[in-house]
Amino acid sequence: MGNGESKKRFRAAVLSVVKHAYVPNGVAAHPRFELAVVADDADQPDWVHQRNEAFAYQHNIPYVRDVAQALTDYDVDLAVISSEAERHCDLGVRAAAAGLHVILDKPLSTQLSECDRLVAEVDERGVKSLLWNRNYLPALVQARELVQSGTLGQLQAIHVDFYFAKDAGPPRGSRGPDDPPINWLESLIAAHVDGSDGGVGNKPMGELEIEGIYPLAYIRMLSGVEVEKVFARTAAHFHQRNVDNQVDDLATVTLQMQGGLIGSLCIGRIGAASHPDIGEIKLHLVGSEGSLVISEARPEVAVYYRGQDRQEFPHRRIAGENDFLLMENFAQAIDHNGPTILDVRGGRQIAATVAAALESGQSGQLVRVS
């Protein structure tokens, strides 16, 4: 450990790690954090236990099929939760009730009532919380500095495009008349092999619900205000899995925010053919003194070569320190009893914005964010 060697080292319990493991891996990469144990409830299905065990084996730590035991017997300071989204909050509540700080993968939950339960528990116990996000990507750090320095003056509008140019199973219209609809959970379990299983769980979720936290966290961080009303259009435009499970893979959201600020979000899992890299992710900010166009991917380096795999992104992002900076922020919050970049209260508001957008997508009306 470098200059942090005199500071406390935090021990983490990983509570379920059933999807891409970037959250616990991001925690473990920071010198002030170490993974002590993986745990889950005994009554979870076999595929859950298998993934938990594999992760524990990879990190050379024990796997315990008893969450309560893991929280008390391994001298841990925090819980890192990367379960199916519908279990995030319940695991978070149990960890917070045991006095542990909590870090959760996105989305916070599939139900607002669960978010509220977690917010209440975290508040009551006085523990720190972090909803994993991308707010420390270099371009976002730069945007925040420009906003906070007053370079743009008073913010008037903020627009985010957030497209992932990835496929998600067979394309829309590919199901034959006698084929059964695609089972959400089975399909997402199978998607683990390429890491596109962020929506794994029993409850189907659209792109807005799975990935919306990222752009909405940008807007929240940069604007510093709450969303009051939303209007949204949603569609299953690309993928048969989304059609069969009646969830979106493309959405547009108008955001009417406090203080007359307006915003918008375009989001979609738009297919690998739609962009040479991970996708077009951009922010447009309009202020009273200046305006800003930011590409989230930059800085990047372009590498092309003969025989290049089509799956490989030729533009490689560089200088990314998002994981380190998130965990540094979390450590500082614990050390100094300060705020984190995105706590569960902020995550709850984002979940409420998404819920209102989904309702608007159905009703065609402006919907107030609860």
Partner 1 sequence: MSLRLALCGCSQALQWSDCLQRLDGVSVTTVADADPAVAEAAAPQFGTASRVASCEQLLSTAGDNWDALVISGELAGSAEVTQNALAAGKPVLLENPPQETTTLTTLDAVAADSQVSLMVGGSLRYAPALSTVQQSVASGQIGAPGLLRAHRWVPAADITVEASLENGLLLDEVDLALWLFGQLPNHVLTSSSMAPGTDPGCVQIHLGFPDNGMALLDWSALVQGAGYFSLSLIGSQGAAYADDHHNTQLLFQGGAPAGLNTTGGTCGRLGQLREFIAAIAEARTPGCTISDACAAAQVHQAACDSLNTGQAFRWTGEAYQSCN
The b/e string for 322-358 (b: 16+ C-beta within 10 A; e otherwise) is bbebbbbbbbebbeeeeebbbbbbbbbbbbbbbbbbb
Asked if 273 is part of the footprint of partner 1 (rule: CB under 8 A), the reply reads: yes
Residue 45 lies near partner 1 (rule: CB under 8 A): no
Decide if residue 299 touches partner 1 (CB under 8 A): no
Among 58, 72, 151, 295, binds partner 1 (CB under 8 A): 295
Nearer to partner 1, 50 or 258 (CB): 258
Quote the CA–CA distance of 35 and 341 in Å, as a whole number.
22
* Least distance (Å) between residue 145 CB and partner 1: 14
Residue 171 class from Cβ within 10 Å (0-12 exposed, 13-18 middle, 19+ buried)? middle
Beta-bridge mates of residue 34: 11
Candidates 4, 99, 150, 153; binder of partner 1 (CB under 8 A) is 153
CB of 230 to partner 1, least distance (A): 10
Write down the residue that tokens 């929280």 correspond to. Answer: 71
Asked whether position 225 contacts partner 1 by CB under 8 A, the answer is no
Query: Which is it for the CA torsion 236, 238, 241, 243, positive or negative?
Result: positive
If one asks whether residue 218 binds partner 1 (CB under 8 A), the answer comes out as no
Q: Considering only residues 20, 144, 203, 237, which one is a binding residue for partner 1 as defined by CB under 8 A?
A: 237
Report the nearest approach of partner 1 to the CB of residue 284 (Å). Answer: 5
Among 190, 266, 325, 334, contact with partner 1 (rule: CB under 8 A)? 266
185 vs 266 by CB, closer to partner 1: 266
Name the residue among 166, 137, 148, 152 with its Cα closest to residue 282: 137
Kindly report the backbone phi and psi dihedral angles of residue 100, in degrees, each rounded to the nearest multiple of 5, phi listed first: -95, 145
Among residues 171 and 320, whose Cβ is nearest to partner 1? 171
Nearer to partner 1, 183 or 274 (CB): 274
Q: In terms of CB distance, is 71 or 155 closer to partner 1?
A: 155
- Figure out which of the listed residues 286, 324, 332, 334 binds partner 1, where binding follows CB under 8 A: 286
Least gap, CB of 271 to partner 1 (angstroms): 7
According to DSSP, the β-strands at 227-235 and 155-164 are unpaired
355 counts as binding partner 1 under rule CB under 8 A: no
**Residue number, 87 or 269, with CB nearest to partner 1:** 269
Candidates 69, 148, 258, 365: give the one binding partner 1 (CB under 8 A).
365
- Give the x/- contact pattern for partner 1 in 174-193, rule: CB under 8 A: --------------------
Stretch touching partner 1 by CB under 8 A, among 24-32, 150-158, 177-185, 207-215: 150-158
142 binds partner 1 per the rule CB under 8 A: no
Q: Among 44, 111, 183, 254, indicate the residue that binds partner 1 (CB under 8 A).
A: 254
C-beta of 99 vs 290, nearer to partner 1:
290
Residue 318 touching partner 1 (CB under 8 A): no
Say how far apart CA 96 and CA 88 lie, in whole Å.
12
Q: How far apart are CA 152 and CA 143, in angstroms?
A: 10
Name the minimum Å distance from CB 220 to partner 1: 17
Name the site residues for partner 1 (rule: CB under 8 A). Answer: 153, 156-157, 159, 161, 163, 165, 171-172, 231, 233, 235-238, 250-252, 254, 256, 260-262, 264, 266, 268, 270-271, 273-275, 280, 282, 284, 286, 288-291, 293, 295, 363-366
